[in-house]
Amino acid sequence: MKITRKKALQLTKWLWGWLAKTGSYSKDAWPGWEKYGEMRNDCPLCEYSFRQVTGGVEPGQSGRWCDACPLGLGRMGCYKTVYHAWENTKEGDVGRRKFLAKMVLNRLGEIES
């Protein structure tokens, strides 16, 4: 699937909206993967950035393409944000996972497509 910046942002918002609604422990469980296929790091923005930098053909080193991410956080920058807190929240803490997913979704809403 060819993924544009606009589509990557749209899919990422759908993903995080679903996570905020369900409190799911894993991005892997998002039903959208069935339609859109697997993506690098289970993240449409990572997939978009990877393809921008490598053309989608070079495996490259993880994080090398982060500078092209629409979040504008730099190399592995998402691991310095609320995303990292969401990822490290215990599986059973659904309320916290929902809260943190909403924070990620709010941040995504600030980005122009």
Check: pTM over 0.75? Answer yes or no: yes
Q: What's the mean pLDDT when you consider all of the chain?
A: 86
> Do 44 and 35 form a contact (C-beta atoms < 8 A)?
no
Neighbours of 72 (CB within 10 A): 10
pLDDT bucket at 23, cuts 50 / 70 / 90 = very high
Length of the chain (residues): 113
Rounded CA gap, 61 and 3, in Å?
21
Task: Compute the C-alpha angle 41/70/113, nearest 5°.
Answer: 115
Q: Is residue 60's pLDDT more than 60?
A: no
Tokens of 76: 């592995």
Rounded CA gap, 2 and 14, in Å?
18
Rounded CA gap, 32 and 45, in Å?
14
Domain locations in the chain? Answer: 5-109
pLDDT at 63: 62
Beta strands in the chain (DSSP E): none
